[in-house]
Structure 1
Amino acid sequence: MSPDVTPGGPQQPDPEQWEQVLRAMLGPAADDAIAQMRAMGVDPSAMAAASGLPADPAALQAAIAQVQRMLATSGDEPVNWGMAHDLARQQAAQGGDPSLSPGRAREVIDALAVAELWLDAATDLPPSSGRPRAWSRAEWVEATLPTWRTLTEPVAVSLSAALADALRPALGDGPDGVLDLPGLPAGMPFGDPVQLLRGLGSAVFGLQVGQAAGTLAREVFGTTDIGLPLLDRPAPALVPTNVDAFAEGLDAPLEEVRLYLALREAAANRLFAHVPWLRAHLLDAVAAYARGIEIDVDQLEEAVRSIDPTDQTALQEALSGGVFAPRTTPTQQAALARLELALALVEGWVDEVATAAAAPHLPHAVALREMVRRRRAAGGPAEQTFASLVGLELRPRRLRDAAAVWAHLATTRGIDGRDAVWAHPDLVPTSQDLDDPAGYDARRQAEVEGSADLDRALAEILGDADGTVDGGARAGTGSGPGAADASDDEARDGSDGPSDDERPGGPVTI
């Protein structure tokens, strides 16, 4: 007997049923979309069949219920973290992720211990207090996922709110804010457009975070490869499977590669452990970017109109290319500039210190340095995923310039003087210093002199304003160098001085 192929039969989706689904997903625009699809010769039920979704109504409703459960599990979270966790573990396990044997773990721990000894001669910063570890890819995911939450949630919250606000006029709410969609079960998330957007956004962000974290787990060497500290408490760790994969095809022996990467990991952890303001500065730059997110509705509408729903490849490229991409505001551009400079300074310091520590011991230290530089400059699939997710490229574009600045400071000030620059954000190099490393000291001296001149000017103004100098003992018209000096000293003692923003050039920050 031939199978039943009548509309609504078990082998062909019901056109009316699928039109209801489209109306549930597209809202008031569904009728126009369906009409355009038919004008192009596209049958909604044929699209359903091509998608591989269930053909009979009961199975279709089960699929919709599954989508409902997916959206419901997001709750009020901006990112579906259960989904992110599961996908990250799946991605990390691709190609195999065996548990580390005691012997392999010992190789990593020993390499990190040697790295700490060598670094003592190359930096004044002491080792971090965290216990060194050797991780599988899955263990890396578990350890770093909390920081991914810190990084991505501000962006997810801002993007979801901006998208909902931008599309709210076109959502077409029915009575009591719920769309009336005959034929669909009551209470489905499709009925509330705002909740639909939030649920879909949470699910999409969960998928993207999971994809990025899982892909990174197959690429990173430790916890600091992307320039951001991925642990709350710094502790050096290496993923030996990835270290081995990187060493394949290189002229340097595996042991040298492992030691050089251990030096970089240990150096970065020293920096994050003993420069308390640095981690917060980096994460705050991401949050500042997130707070300024705006959706370009015109660009969104144009992108949607340009998509050919019959071309699956074009549709996928449009979605992955940033159909919902936010526009960059001046505030965001400033946050991006701060983050880019900070990443360059961190990795430039690590690059300089690790290579200086390796040079007396590793014959291939310079070659390994160049290989790592090129790898970071090129980026990888995981970094591209993260860039599309939050709009940030975790790439130190000026790594070489930053390394040159740190090398210059080590030459002119010594190792202790170079590392002392991290004591306060006002002391660290700026973009101008990256352009001209040799002028660092002259520019800092000019800032000090300019601040002193401003202090004297303020002291004179304050003295003239209250008509007294020297604690009010004499009138402001008094003369003589002693009176002037007393006035200056009194004005300084009686005020906190100008704020950073009042000094010439503003605060020196990264």
Structure 2
Amino acid sequence: GPKVTAAEASSVVEELRADAERARTPVAETARLHTPPDAHAPLIVDRPGWIDANVSSMRSMLGPVFDTMAAKRRREPGQLTRSVGGKVTGGEAGALMAFLAGKVLGQYDLAPEGKPRLLLVAPNILHAETQLAVDPADFRLWVCLHEETHRVQFTAVPWLREHLIGSARSLTSELVPDPDQLGAKLAQIASSLPDAFRSGGTGLADVFATPEQRARMARITAVMSLLEGHADVVMDDVGPQVIPSVAQIRAKFQQRRRGGGAVDRLLRRLLGLEAKMRQYRDGAAFVRGVTDRVGVDGFNAVWTSPETLPLPEEIEDPGAWVARVHG
């Protein structure tokens, strides 16, 4: 992370902690959603702390997937295979975590078998505000507004966390190929990589998913678009009231979201992060389109049950969601 003294790092952490608390009331009032009093407070972490939390969540999320893979094996792998395989997959996971740990500003950690809570990554926020040359106090509060909205979404809507975890686990288990099919799947991935680069889809998962699995993936993507777009809308609606330089921050941050050099853009496409950027844009358009038609309270019907979440085609057609849910 950025080179700072212990005193400077401590100051950033304390300010982020205060900003996270400061963001709670305006976010709740704007979203008209309220967290229960026993909801966990945000946790300020460094990059290793973010990695630790996500490795734990990854282990919990993928545990059932590994069980499925083990059940499909016809015979136990030898000691050499287990040793080499563990190092390869560990290296892949480590590389992924290292790449993301320098980019994520904040995250609501679903912690499938642990304690869900909001994480704010202090060194990344400090690096981003310096890189963008924006007012630090304004930028830190702005980030907290977005991330606090995610905390409100998952704590005010109790069923949402388990719904997402269950959907992701089920789909991931299905995407794992049978051991006998692994060679063919690898060949399919290699031959389809150029199309994956050109398509701008959701990343490598697009390459080997069946049409039915892509449809389920689209349902999950629609929910993620809703969550990210809603957080962007709330932060921008609250922003002018409490952040003098919000317009400048938004303009510069949009440019940052487009990525850096060629290697960075390549990794973003492979990991599906370009699709993630579209989620902010498309989700925000959906939220504003629905709110313009039925107001905030009408929009909040989206949190009623899994059946009222937007379908993939409704993200681009808010009127269709309004007609389906409100009649």
Normalised by the size of structure 1, how large is the TM-score? 0.51
Identity over aligned pairs, percent = 26
Task: Label 1:193 to 1:361 Cα distance change in 2 as closer, same or farther (>3 A).
Answer: closer
Shift of 1:270: 0.8
Shift of 1:144: 3.3
Q: Does residue 1:240 correspond to 2:240, yes or no?
A: no
In the alignment, what sits opposite 1:406? Answer: 287
**Counterparts of residues 352-363 of structure 1 (less than 5 Å):** 352-363=233-244
Shift of 1:216: 2.3
Task: Label 1:328 to 1:199 Cα distance change in 2 as closer, same or farther (>3 A).
Answer: farther
Structure having greater relative contact order (Cα 8 Å, sep ≥ 6): 2
Asked whether the 8 Å contact 2:188–2:208 carries over to 1, the reply is no
Q: Deviations over 1:114-147 (max 9, x none)?
A: 2113213311112462123322222223333321
Task: Label 1:383 to 1:109 Cα distance change in 2 as closer, same or farther (>3 A).
Answer: farther
Asked whether the 8 Å contact 1:122–1:357 carries over to 2, the reply is yes
Task: Label 1:214 to 1:357 Cα distance change in 2 as closer, same or farther (>3 A).
Answer: same
**Counterparts of 2:315 and 2:31, CA distance in 1:** 21
Q: Look up the equivalent residue of 1:212 and give its one-letter code.
A: L
Asked whether the 8 Å contact 1:296–1:326 carries over to 2, the reply is no
Unpaired segments of 5 or more residues in structure 1? Answer: 1-93, 169-191, 305-320, 447-510
Shift of 1:424: 1.0
In the alignment, what sits opposite 2:297? Answer: 416
In the alignment, what sits opposite 1:147? Answer: 57
Q: Does residue 1:297 correspond to 2:179, yes or no?
A: no
Q: Deviations over 1:378-419 (max 9, x none)?
A: 49969948966xx89872534322212212333333323322
Task: Label 1:159 to 1:333 Cα distance change in 2 as closer, same or farther (>3 A).
Answer: farther
Asked whether the 8 Å contact 2:2–2:126 carries over to 1, the reply is no
Shift of 1:344: 0.8
DSSP 3-state at the match of 1:211: helix
Q: Does residue 1:118 correspond to 2:26, yes or no?
A: yes
Q: Look up the equivalent residue of 1:115 and give its one-letter code.
A: A
Task: Label 1:198 to 1:360 Cα distance change in 2 as closer, same or farther (>3 A).
Answer: same
Q: Deviations over 1:411-464 (max 9, x none)?
A: 333323322321212112222322222343223355xxxxxxxxxxxxxxxxxx
Q: Does residue 1:202 correspond to 2:86, yes or no?
A: yes
In the alignment, what sits opposite 1:343? Answer: 224
Task: Label 1:219 to 1:209 Cα distance change in 2 as closer, same or farther (>3 A).
Answer: same
Q: Look up the equivalent residue of 2:145 and give its one-letter code.
A: L
In the alignment, what sits opposite 1:130? Answer: 40
Q: Does residue 1:328 correspond to 2:209, yes or no?
A: yes
Larger radius of gyration: 1
**Counterparts of residues 413-492 of structure 1 (less than 5 Å):** 413-445=294-326
Residue of structure 2 aligned with 1:368, choices 246, 249, 253: 249
Asked whether the 8 Å contact 2:219–2:311 carries over to 1, the reply is no
Shift of 1:212: 2.0
**Counterparts of residues 216-295 of structure 1 (less than 5 Å):** 216-224=100-108, 229=110, 232-292=114-174, 293-294=176-177, 295=181
Shift of 1:302: 9.1
Shift of 1:347: 0.3
Asked whether the 8 Å contact 2:230–2:287 carries over to 1, the reply is yes
DSSP 3-state at the match of 2:103: coil
Asked whether the 8 Å contact 1:348–1:400 carries over to 2, the reply is yes
**Counterparts of 2:212 and 2:130, CA distance in 1:** 43
Unpaired segments of 5 or more residues in structure 2? Answer: 191-202
Asked whether the 8 Å contact 2:189–2:207 carries over to 1, the reply is no
**Counterparts of 1:399 and 1:261, CA distance in 2:** 14
Shift of 1:206: 2.0
**Counterparts of 1:271 and 1:238, CA distance in 2:** 16
Asked whether the 8 Å contact 1:247–1:254 carries over to 2, the reply is yes
Residue of structure 2 aligned with 1:215, choices 85, 99, 112: 99
DSSP 3-state at the match of 2:105: coil
Task: Label 1:392 to 1:102 Cα distance change in 2 as closer, same or farther (>3 A).
Answer: closer
Q: Look up the equivalent residue of 2:289 and give its one-letter code.
A: H
DSSP 3-state at the match of 1:266: helix
CA RMSD of aligned residues (A): 3.8
**Counterparts of 2:218 and 2:308, CA distance in 1:** 18
Asked whether the 8 Å contact 1:268–1:350 carries over to 2, the reply is yes
DSSP 3-state at the match of 1:134: strand
**Counterparts of residues 44-193 of structure 1 (less than 5 Å):** 101-127=9-35, 129-156=39-66, 193=77
Asked whether the 8 Å contact 1:288–1:335 carries over to 2, the reply is no
Asked whether the 8 Å contact 1:234–1:269 carries over to 2, the reply is no
**Counterparts of 1:301 and 1:406, CA distance in 2:** 41
Q: Look up the equivalent residue of 1:113 and give its one-letter code.
A: E
Task: Label 1:439 to 1:204 Cα distance change in 2 as closer, same or farther (>3 A).
Answer: same
Moved more, 235-244 or 347-356: 235-244
